[in-house]
Structure 1
Amino acid sequence: MTDLEYMDRAESALAAIECACDRLNDATEADIDNQRVGGMITLSFPNGSQLIVNLQKPLQEIWLAARSGGYHYRHDGTAWVDTKTGEEFFSNLSREASLQAGLRLDFSA
């Protein structure tokens, strides 16, 4: 994938996260504070926990930092998948956000 293709796909993923936070805040009591600085989004939850999504341009990856650990995702032509487990990014983000928020939250591309 070219650098331009990576940036298009990665920026789309970050935009989807921002839109999902707005949707979830309207539809649930999640109260997720999302702040974006460049290629990084920090999701803060009322209990003080955070999820951090960060673009890694040199590696063409998206990284997710959560209480359970750090995850690295590469685009396989269809979706962002974990480089170790093959798990899809938005599925993992949904699981991690749900754990930290204490209620079911669904993120999608």
Structure 2
Amino acid sequence: MNDSEFNALADTTLIAIETAVESLDTDIDFEMSAGILTLTFENGSKVIINRQIATHEIWVAARSGGFHCRATEAGWVCNTTGEGLGALLSRVCTEQAGEPVSIAL
């Protein structure tokens, strides 16, 4: 995958995350700026999601740690946990929101 293909895929993914968060019943604010998506929870905690062009990964920063996801034929997969990006985001958002959050991608 070249940089242009990666950027297109990352853009599509970040928009899908925004759409999924917007449709939740949970109160999570989000802001996209310069390719960085910030999710802010009622308790003030944040989850930061951004693209890393050099490594062709999407990175997620949460209270529980930093996670790097690579694109596979099955979708974005976390290098350390093996979770899909949607499952990873659901888990870390649930931890930070203090209530169940399901982000389907």
* TM, length-normalised to structure 1: 0.90
In structure 2, what is the Cα distance between the partners aligned to 1:84 and 1:69? 11
Partner SS state of residue 59, structure 1 = coil
Partner SS state of residue 58, structure 1 = coil
Match of 1:9 in 2: 9
* More helix as a share of residues: 1
Percent of residue pairs identical = 43
Match of 1:20 in 2: 20
* More strand as a share of residues: 2
Matched, 1:32 2:32: no
In structure 2, what is the Cα distance between the partners aligned to 1:98 and 1:74? 22
In structure 2, what is the Cα distance between the partners aligned to 1:85 and 1:14? 20
In structure 2, what is the Cα distance between the partners aligned to 1:38 and 1:108? 24
Q: What is the Cα deviation at residue 85 of structure 1?
A: 2.6
Match of 2:40 in 1: 44
Q: What is the Cα deviation at residue 81 of structure 1?
A: 0.7
Counterpart selection for 2:102 from 96, 99, 106: 106
Partner SS state of residue 23, structure 2 = helix
Show structure 2 runs of 5+ residues with no match: none
* TM, length-normalised to structure 2: 0.94
**Which amino acid in 1 is paired with 2:21?**
C
Match of 2:65 in 1: 69
Match of 1:91 in 2: 87
Show structure 1 runs of 5+ residues with no match: none
